[in-house]
Amino acid sequence: MNRSLHTFSRRQENGFSLIEVMVAMLIVGIALPALMYQLGTQMSGAQRLRDQTIAGWVAQDRLVQMRIEAARGSVYRPGVYNGVAEQAGRNWHWQLQVATTAIPGLYRYDIQVASAESPSDSLVTFMDYLAGVPTALTNTAALAGEGT
């Protein structure tokens, strides 16, 4: 009889009880969905940040193009313009709104960029001011610069 008690006590020391296993499974069952939710949130946040960065590049490219055109004497007139640009292997929709200001010849440019998958969800909005330079003044300034 002593022998059977000794064997039984050794079995208790070697493993977990059913209640301990069930409590461990309950903890994992509660923690795992919360962890998966947190991971999904972080991944969607990283994707949104990446999209905003690329959309910012598109807006900056468009503003630089407008500055180049303004230096050549071509200025967008007040109104709304739309276009599509390719950046990072994806298409991006941009919308340019040109408005006059209180200063004659100075225009305000607001550009919004959205992904092609969600064109109504603007990712970035940039704003710039450009002065319209008449073509005759631009050519005169270029000629004056060549002589020096």
Q: How far is CA 111 from CA 55, 59, 72, 88, in A?
A: 11, 6, 21, 19
Domain assignment present for 20 = no
Q: How many domains does the chain have?
A: 1
Q: Three-class SS string for the chain?
A: CHHHHHHHHHHHHHCCCHHHHHHHHHHHHHHHHHHHHHHHHHHHHHHHHHHHHHHHHHHHHHHHHHHHHHHCCCCCCCEEEEEEEEECCEEEEEEEEEEECCCCCEEEEEEEEEECCCCCCEEEEEEEEEECCCHHHHHHHHHHHHHC
Domain assignment present for 70 = yes
Q: Is the predicted pLDDT of residue 50 greater than 90, yes or no?
A: yes
Domain assignment present for 23 = no
Burial profile 29-53: b = 16 or more Cβ within 10 angstroms, e = fewer? eeeeeeeeeeeeeeeeeeeeeebee
Local confidence band at 51 (pLDDT 50, 70, 90 cut-offs):
very high
Local confidence band at 137 (pLDDT 50, 70, 90 cut-offs):
very low
Local confidence band at 89 (pLDDT 50, 70, 90 cut-offs):
very high
CATH number, domain with residue 64:
3.30.1300.30
pLDDT on residue 4: 54
pLDDT on residue 144: 42
Domain assignment present for 62 = yes
Domain assignment present for 89 = yes
**CA dist., res. 77 & res. 109, Å (int):** 10
Could you list the residue range(s) of the whole structural domain that residue 92 is in?
48-133
Domain assignment present for 19 = no
Structure token pair of residue 39? 């991971």
**CA dist., res. 71 & res. 138, Å (int):** 7
Average pLDDT, the chain: 82
Percentage, residues of the chain above pLDDT 70: 80
Local confidence band at 70 (pLDDT 50, 70, 90 cut-offs):
confident
pLDDT on residue 1: 52
Domain assignment present for 90 = yes
Q: Is the predicted pLDDT of residue 39 greater than 60, yes or no?
A: yes
Domain assignment present for 71 = yes
